[in-house]
A and B are shown apart, each in its own frame.
Chain A
Amino acid sequence: MTSISSVSAAFTGRDRGNRLYGPVPDVTEQSGYAEEHPKRVGFFTDTSVCIGCKACEVACKEWNTLPMDDSHGVKDALGLSGMSYDNTGQLGANSWRHVAFIEQSRAVDLPMPTFGRPGDDRHDHGTSVAGSGDLNSTATAQASVLNAEALTEFDPQTGQTGADKQVRWLMSSDVCKHCTHAGCLDVCPTGALFRTEFGTVVVQGDICNGCGYCVAACPYGVIDQRKDDGRVFKCTMCYDRLTDGLMPACATACPTQSIQFGDLDELQERADARLATLKAQGVETARLYGRDEDDGVGGDGAFFLLLDEPEVYGLPPDPIVTTRDLPAMWRAAGKAALMMVGVAATAILGSRRGAR
């Protein structure tokens, strides 16, 4: 049985099948499913094409009938975050998709490679258009009303303001990572959290007793407790839809294919190809997050293509599943317990018998 070898790994630290840490070729099979299980599925969220429309958030809320909450995860209060277009704030018990929004700027005179579009080109276009016969009168007419000069200074395609500053918007739809080594699943004492036949991680609502251990164990801060309910909730990757052969609601709703759903190995190939394309186009800050199976959680079932450091999006830069260190912790606890018995025995034997 799988549970017996998992016992030895947590206690002894001899982790032969990488049960606690490290890459696992077939996590579904390791979880005890028969060999003919479905392939592991996942999300590839390509943030370079995300437009921040939040259709994924809405589709998720509707399909899973999630209650309202404000930008700090407090239920039933409509609240604006006051910081950006992001009024969801974070993932939580009632927000299983969260679109992050970051506005960034940079000085263009920095000695950095730009996106390969010298600003002079546009200026040349502008003069040639303005100087071409009939259009000239139209252009001056526009300038009097709209201040076309100021308008042409800002190019929404590149975010170039013309002066000294470049602006870009980062948008990213965050979700439960469905880790290969899921901390929440490891520490759940009731078995409410389990790995499905699709390799995803799901909470069984009728088992969860709201102990809250998973909330503290998730290195990404995904799962949370619904205060008025007591139990914990998180993305199920639409387990109900998967069993009926449908795509998860968010991926179905995404209008730009920023959220791609499919077999994990296929998505990984697609992501590698996309990264290579972006790199070739000069997007030097593109990187994959959660793709590496040698990372601290054995790779994510839901991974991302980011355009900046993970922490810019509110993601931990180097998450490690807490149970990697569990064998060391059990050893320390065992030693400490023996120490207690030793101290108590010393105290008893080192004391003279009391007068009775």
Chain B
Amino acid sequence: MTGGITSPGAGWRQADRGPATQRTGRKRRRRGGGRGRGEVPMVDDVEFTSYYGRQIVKTPVWKSPDVPLYLFLGGAAGSSAILGALADVTGRQALTRTARLTAGGGSILSVVFLIHDLGRPERFLHMLRVLKVTSPLSVGTYILAPFSAAAGATAAVELLGWFPRLKRFGGAVAGVFGGPLATYTGVLLANTAVPSWHEFHTKLPFVFGGSAMAAGGGICMALTPLGESEPARKMAILGAGIELAALRGIEGSDSFLAEPYHEGRPGQFMRAARACTAGGLGLAVLGGRRRWGAVASGALLAAGSLLTRFGVFEAGIASTKDPKYVVVPQRERMAAREAEARSVAR
């Protein structure tokens, strides 16, 4: 018996399968990245009890290509909108144009994916019945709606060449909502009972913010003439650095709930994301001032951002499917609380 973690009452064990407790089936795992820190002992082979191994929390019904794509496109559009608004103020016309088209296209597409993911897409407007700050999706709707209206309209008049003043206003509105659009999605995932999302609730907004800048900066860098692409390159480099650092805060943490980010398909996504983002970052630093370098590194950074979204999404999904990710951390929390209560009582 593993006193403290789980102790089934008075020696009762599930009858048909020997001990009712299962083992987490893992003793140690390698720290992500293999950067020379060696093996770090994690939660050692904890026993836990479950109801026939069935999951406790429900797996989110969000569809896999839709929601990660929404997260990616919203992020890229949001960061491009900020870049576009600032580039407009400083008179960089080519960069402004690219950023506005990226923001407009990304926002419209992201709305399409978001609506398509609903169980009843025709009822999308029901989102606008209420505003609830306890619901990140409600808040996000009121970020996405003005953003996509402004960014979409700005991109449209940019293509048509009408109303230059309206364009600047629309671009500024999109720029204001761009940051929140890119980072609220972190709260959207974290404010759930999904163990491996909720655990990192203060880190996910920074992952998504950095990832958004890497993607938006990368796309704008690749599509803007070299003479004006420098700000996009800088934003992409800084964004990729933030993304990698914030991801390290999740993947490298000692938490038991970091495990899904390393294993199986989500682990593959995360490793691919890290490779693309790090590669794109290096290439942008070294060759981003050349045409081919800008295109290649921009594509790599965008791919890295997309893979990050898929990896984080899938890791959360995986963490709902195994009851150990619900039971073990909650048991540890209870044991810690009891220990604290005992030390206070003394």
Contact = CB atoms under 8 A, between A and B. Distances in A.
Interface in B191-208: 191-194, 198, 201-206, 208
B58 A344 contact: no
A60 to B, nearest CB: 19
Most chain B CB within 10 A, of A208, A317, A344, is at A344
Given A209-B126, A216-B192, A189 B137 contact: yes
B51 A311 contact: yes
Contacts of B242: 339, 343
B134 A326 contact: yes
Given A100-B51, A318-B331, A340-B209, A189 B179 contact: no
Contacts of A89: 54
How many chain B residues sit at the interface, stated as a range, is 35 or more
Contact of A284 (B10, B127, B179): B10
A339 B209 contact: yes
B332 to A, nearest CB: 9
A236 interface: no
A347 B190 CA distance: 29
B322 interface: no
Contacts of B120: 208-210, 230-231
B112 interface: no
Q: B-side binding surface: helix, strand, loop or mixed? A: helix
Interface in A89-127: 89-90, 100, 102-107, 110, 112-113
A316 B230 contact: no
B179 A317 contact: no
A191 interface: yes
A300 to B, nearest CB: 15
Contact of B234 (A84, A107, A318, A350): A350
Contacts of B187: 326, 329-330, 332-333
B14 A343 contact: no
B123 A187 contact: no
Contact of B127 (A84, A167, A209, A330): A209
Given A189-B141, A341-B179, A347 B123 contact: no
Contacts of B134: 6, 10, 20, 186-187, 323, 326
A30 to B, nearest CB: 13
B24 to A, nearest CB: 13
A209 B121 CA distance: 7
B12 A186 contact: no
A218 B58 contact: yes
A314 interface: yes
Contacts of B231: 344, 347-348, 350-351
Interface stretch (B83-91, B149-157, B159-167): B83-91
Contacts of A100: 51
Nearest to A166: B12
Interface string A211-230: 11101111111111100011
B193 to A, nearest CB: 4
Nearest to A102: B14
A333 B180 contact: yes
Nearest to A114: B10
Given A212-B60, A328-B201, A347 B137 contact: no
A325 interface: yes
B303 to A, nearest CB: 20
Nearest to B229: A354
B331 to A, nearest CB: 6
Contacts of A224: 58, 61
A50 to B, nearest CB: 15
B267 interface: no
Given A191-B132, A209-B123, A212-B60, A340 B52 contact: no
Given A207-B126, A340-B82, A343-B235, 4 more contacts: A112-B10, A335-B205, A336-B186, A337-B180
4 pairs of A and B residues whose beta carbons are closest in the complex: A210-B119, A230-B119, A314-B51, A285-B9
5 contacts: A10-B134, A311-B327, A319-B193, A322-B190, A343-B235
